[in-house]
Amino acid sequence: MTKELYNLGEMPPLGVIPPKMHAWLIRPERFGKPMEAFQKEVVNTPAIADDEVLVYVMAAGINYNNVWAGLGIPIDVIGARNKAFARGEQGEPEPFHIGGSDASGIVYKVGKDVTNVKVGDEVVMHCGRYSRDCEWVKNGGDPMYSPTYRIWGYETNWGSFAQFTKVQAQQCMPKPKHMNWEEAAAYTLVAATAWRMLHGWGVNAVKKGDVALIWGGAGGLGSMAIQIAKAAGATPIAIVSGEDKFDYCMKLGAKGCINRNEFDHWGMLPHWKDNAGYAKWLKGVRAFGAKIWEVLGEKRAPNIIFEHPGETTIPTSIFVCDTGGMVVVCAGTTGYNATVDLRYLWMRQKRLQGSHFANTEQSNQMNQLAVRGLLDPCLSRAFPYTDIPHVHQLMYENKHPHGNMAVLVGATEFGQGASSKAPVAVEHPTLPKGDVHTTPRPYPLTAPLPTIAEGEAITLADDGTKVRDLMHRGIISCTPTDTVGTVAKIMVNKEIHAVVVMDERGKAIGVVSQTDMVLARQGRTPDEARSMRAQDVMTPGCATCDADMLLSEAVSLMTGRRMHRLVVTEKEQPVGVISMTDVVRKIIGE
Ligand code: NAP
């Protein structure tokens, strides 16, 4: 008779499914830091559908997504699934979440339509699920674009932090025989993501002879990207934050490395009118480009740039990318406002391409590289099953090592599960001792991303304050032909930061701000700058708002246009000014 529950590490006979299983569960009532959010429980072993497989988990890979699942932000993954289920849509009814989007294990049960795996097969799993009944998929569309697409173990329940996991058969791929269980559990999510980024984008896919610039070469994605680019016959150049990581990246196949801390031009682009700022940025980015040439040993620009830091690095990536090349991005770890100098994008016909995880075909292509021994899983640390909350807590506190981490689940010891020698002899690279993350933890994906036909109404976070409640009445203005000298005097005498430019009909046509004055001085003598006219230096198209506009909307206008003040109008006539200083006063309750 089948036992009700097996102890952890006590493997049930092949094909025997106990009714209950051990698992680490997240429940909404304990959303919070990983050490509190994850708790060990015993639950019913899930039933499988006809196209699904039940896998006995030997080891599970660790990803940041389940830190977010435990925190319950930016989405309550449990609530979202329960609501969808209640609406009769694709969802799940269980009031808990079993996370884990990477795993290695043994197939214990298959649904009646499954043909690609059988009971007893040793497998690794990719995390992309989708409905086989989706019209888009049935018509041959990329499942990544299917509305039914979900990340297993994050957007779906029954992930790998349990004795058994429920996956679709198409998620299963052969386990590389030379890898132990924890190594095999560690690489799929990051490697498949890197594969699609490098191989998934048509004419710009990486090819023999290309130069590939890889950000975060010692990180989870970057370490995979170096190896994938190298295997395609390209020349990878890795960027890291310290020379202690050079050796690691070189062993993975980088031709050379760059220490990003030798440069300081990072961040959003300076304004294109800011001659001095732009020139300084250009100097910085050119020096970075020259460094690429130096490590490459020839004056060539990278054809493909592997991006994920986002906001701080995109301007550089676009600039150094070759004519006709591609910057491919799968994350915005440092922020989402990627600034692009469009002149370089259109004149040199470069491509900025978004990419997200990978489809079944791409995951399998990647896995073949692993099976052939050409992809090191870059396992930096493995933990026992009991450490699942702890390892997520390390990530939450940014104290985890780079590379990929895994936990044992069914495997009783580290190092079990390899059944053959590696097909090719490669040196196992190790990260520098004591390596931990020094960069901020990733921003969460702002999910769900709104679509045009968004089901739920979007609620505005606003306390109802209007612009008229805080504005300063009265406009201090100048004419378009007043000189900068005159405008400067007005600013100094009235102790204000900006002067509105009014035409002869009393219409506000622009604003001269302190920033405009400073930019006017760049590259000119004081006399030349003083004799310029307001209309030459002003920011045209005066940004206005109505006195009855919500303060929150006015703030969005200012932050969106990177301005500090707006001219306030009543019946389209300028009557006052609202500034960021006024908003700050309100915040601190002055
Ligand atoms: P990781 O292991 O933490 O590596 C990220 C690397 O980025 C770090 O090693 C760091 O290397 C580098 N970095 C950090 N801050 C930087 C900055 N300001 N400028 C330049 N480089 C910086 O993370 P990962 O697993 O590679 O994942 C990277 C991002 O991709 C995360 O945001 C993750 O959520 C996302 N991701 C997306 C998908 C998808 O399908 N869309 C899949 C997997 C991961 P140095 O300090 O050495 O430079």
What is residue 587's DSSP assignment? H
Give the confidence band of 445 by pLDDT, cuts at 50, 70, 90.
low
- What is the C-alpha separation between 478 and 271, in angstroms, rounded? 25
Which residue bears the tokens 């019946």? Answer: 571
Give the confidence band of 475 by pLDDT, cuts at 50, 70, 90.
confident
- What is the C-alpha separation between 350 and 342, in angstroms, rounded? 10
Which among 164-173, 266-275, 329-338 has the top mean pLDDT? 164-173
Give the confidence band of 273 by pLDDT, cuts at 50, 70, 90.
confident
475 CA → ligand 1 middle, Å? 48
395 CA → ligand 1 middle, Å? 13
539 CA → ligand 1 middle, Å? 38
Per-residue buried b or exposed e for 97-131, using 16+ beta carbons within 10 Å of the residue's own CB: bbbbbbbbbbbbbbeeebeebeeebbbbbbbbbbb
Pair 153, 99: CB distance under 8 Å: yes
Q: 247-256: per-residue pLDDT in tens?
A: 999 999 999 9
Q: In terms of DSSP bridges, do strands 128-129 and 150-151 run parallel, antiparallel, or are they unpaired? A: antiparallel
State the pLDDT at residue 490: 93
Q: Which residues line ligand 1 (CB under 6 A)?
A: 64, 189-190, 193, 215-216, 218-222, 240-241, 245, 260, 308-309, 312-313, 330-331, 333-334, 356-357, 402, 437, 439, 442
299 CA → ligand 1 middle, Å? 28
On average, the pLDDT of the chain sits at 92
Which residue bears the tokens 């896995």? Answer: 367
| Closest CA to ligand 1's atom 3 | 219
310 CA → ligand 1 middle, Å? 9
Task: From 439, 443, 445, 449, give the residue whose CB has the most ligand 1 atoms within 8 Å, as the site to mutate.
Answer: 439
State the pLDDT at residue 553: 86
- What is the C-alpha separation between 45 and 15, in angstroms, rounded? 13
| Closest CA to ligand 1's atom 19 | 309
State the pLDDT at residue 448: 64
Q: For 446-515, where are the E strands, in sequence order?
A: 472-473, 477-478, 498-502, 508-513
Task: From 221, 226, 363, 392, give the residue whose CB has the most ligand 1 atoms within 8 Å, as the site to mutate.
Answer: 221
Q: 300-332: per-residue pLDDT in tens?
A: 999 999 999 999 999 999 999 999 999 999 998
Task: From 329, 333, 336, 400, give the residue whose CB has the most ligand 1 atoms within 8 Å, as the site to mutate.
Answer: 333
| Angle at 464 (CA atoms; ends 460, 470), nearest 5 degrees | 125
State the pLDDT at residue 582: 86
Question: Helix (H, G, I), strand (E, B), or coil: what is residue 57?
Answer: strand
Closest by CA to 542, choosing from 454, 471, 480, is: 480
CA dihedral over 339, 345, 346, 347, signed as positive or negative: positive
Question: Helix (H, G, I), strand (E, B), or coil: what is residue 395?
Answer: helix
- What is the C-alpha separation between 132 and 139, in angstroms, rounded? 11
289 CA → ligand 1 middle, Å? 21
Give the confidence band of 565 by pLDDT, cuts at 50, 70, 90.
confident
% of the chain at pLDDT higher than 70: 96
What integer is the mean pLDDT of 90-117? 97
Give alpha helix (H) positions in 471-544.
484-494, 514-521, 526-531, 534-537
Query: Which atom of ligand 1 is nearest to 260's Cα?
Result: 48
State the pLDDT at residue 176: 98
- What is the C-alpha separation between 556 and 426, in angstroms, rounded? 54
State the pLDDT at residue 407: 98
216 CA → ligand 1 middle, Å? 6
Q: 488-530: per-residue pLDDT in tens?
A: 999 999 888 889 898 888 888 888 988 888 888 888 899 999 9
- What is the C-alpha separation between 218 and 229, in angstroms, rounded? 14
| Closest CA to ligand 1's atom 47 | 240
Specify burial of residue 43 (Cβ count, 10 A radius: 0-12, 13-18, 19+): middle
| Closest CA to ligand 1's atom 36 | 331
282 CA → ligand 1 middle, Å? 25
Query: Which atom of ligand 1 is nearest to 64's Cα?
Result: 34
Residue 511 makes CB contacts below 8 A (sequence gap 6+) with 498, 499, 500, 501, 538, 539, 542, 543, 565, 567
Query: Would you state the structure tokens that stand for residue 523, as one six-digit string?
Result: 């590259």
CA dihedral over 339, 344, 346, 350, signed as positive or negative: negative
Q: 187-236: per-residue pLDDT in tens?
A: 999 999 999 999 999 999 999 999 999 999 999 999 999 999 999 999 99
| Closest CA to ligand 1's atom 24 | 220
| Closest CA to ligand 1's atom 11 | 216
Q: In terms of DSSP bridges, do strands 164-168 and 150-151 run parallel, antiparallel, or are they unpaired? A: unpaired
Whole-number Cα distances in Å, 340 to 162, 311, 315, 318, 556: 44, 10, 6, 7, 21
| Closest CA to ligand 1's atom 16 | 309
Q: 7-55: per-residue pLDDT in tens?
A: 999 999 999 999 999 999 999 999 999 999 999 999 999 999 999 999 9
Residue 485 makes CB contacts below 8 A (sequence gap 6+) with 530, 531
Question: Does the structure show a pLDDT above 80 at 145?
Answer: yes
405 CA → ligand 1 middle, Å? 14
Question: Does the structure show a pLDDT above 70 at 590?
Answer: no
232 CA → ligand 1 middle, Å? 22
569 CA → ligand 1 middle, Å? 46
Element (H, E) at 392: helix 388-396
Query: Would you state the structure tokens that stand for residue 159, as one six-digit string?
Result: 């992930």
- What is the C-alpha separation between 491 and 512, in angstroms, rounded? 10
Query: Would you state the structure tokens that stand for residue 462, as one six-digit string?
Result: 């606003």
59 CA → ligand 1 middle, Å? 23
What integer is the mean pLDDT of 370-378? 96
CA count, 13 A, side-chain hemisphere, 295: 23
| Per-residue three-class SS string for 187-229 | CHHHHHHHHHHHHCCHHHCCCCCCEEEEECCCCHHHHHHHHHH
| Angle at 400 (CA atoms; ends 397, 403), nearest 5 degrees | 145
- What is the C-alpha separation between 364 and 203, in angstroms, rounded? 21
Which residue has better confidence, 545 or 176? Answer: 176
Query: Which atom of ligand 1 is nearest to 242's Cα?
Result: 47
Contacts 24+ apart (CB under 8 A), 455-461: 460/552, 461/552
308 CA → ligand 1 middle, Å? 6
392 CA → ligand 1 middle, Å? 16
Query: Which atom of ligand 1 is nearest to 440's Cα?
Result: 15
Q: 378-436: per-residue pLDDT in tens?
A: 999 999 999 999 999 998 988 888 889 999 999 999 999 999 988 887 778 888 887 87
Per-residue buried b or exposed e for 141-169, using 16+ beta carbons within 10 Å of the residue's own CB: ebbbebebbbbbbbbbbbbbbbbbbbbbb
Whole-number Cα distances in Å, 564 to 337, 536, 544, 557: 19, 20, 12, 10
Query: Which atom of ligand 1 is nearest to 65's Cα?
Result: 34
| Closest CA to ligand 1's atom 17 | 309
Query: Which atom of ligand 1 is nearest to 334's Cα?
Result: 18
